[in-house]
């Protein structure tokens, strides 16, 4: 996720993407995303195994900002907000 200006990046893992995005967009949780006004979902990966998801989250978080931007741009070049249902 990112803010309106695409200047701050956030990576997280959840078992309910629609609920979690709603919480971030509506600033329902005191967190990094609320503090930095992170409201746009710009990249998503789905996993059926939570351990795989956690490994991938750690891998993405451990990468450079440049790598995160490149990953997002490959799938969403304009950093459009992805709608989840």
Whole-structure pTM value: 0.91
- Residues 6 or more apart whose CB falls under 8 angstroms from that of 41 comprise 1, 21, 81, 82, 84
3-54 pLDDT, tens digit per residue, is: 999 999 999 999 999 999 999 999 999 999 999 999 999 999 999 999 999 9
- Residues 6 or more apart whose CB falls under 8 angstroms from that of 21 comprise 1, 41, 84
* Under 8 Å between Cβ of 82 and 25: no
CATH code given to domain 1-85: 3.40.1440
Q: Whose structure tokens read 């440049």?
A: 66
CA-CA distance, 15 to 53, in Å (whole number)?
A: 10
* Under 8 Å between Cβ of 1 and 67: no
Q: How confident is the model at residue 70 (pLDDT cuts 50, 70, 90)?
A: very high
Which pLDDT belongs to residue 48?
Answer: 96
């Amino acid at each position: 996720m990112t803010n309106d200006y695409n200047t701050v990046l956030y990576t997280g893992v959840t078992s309910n993407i629609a609920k979690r995005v709603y919480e971030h967009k509506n600033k329902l949780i005191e967190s990094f995303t609320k503090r930095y006004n992170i409201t746009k979902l710009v990249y998503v990966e789905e996993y059926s195994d939570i351990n795989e998801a956690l490994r991938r989250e750690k891998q993405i978080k451990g990468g450079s900002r440049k790598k995160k931007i490149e990953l997002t741009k490959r799938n969403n070049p304009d950093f459009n907000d992805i709608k989840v249902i």
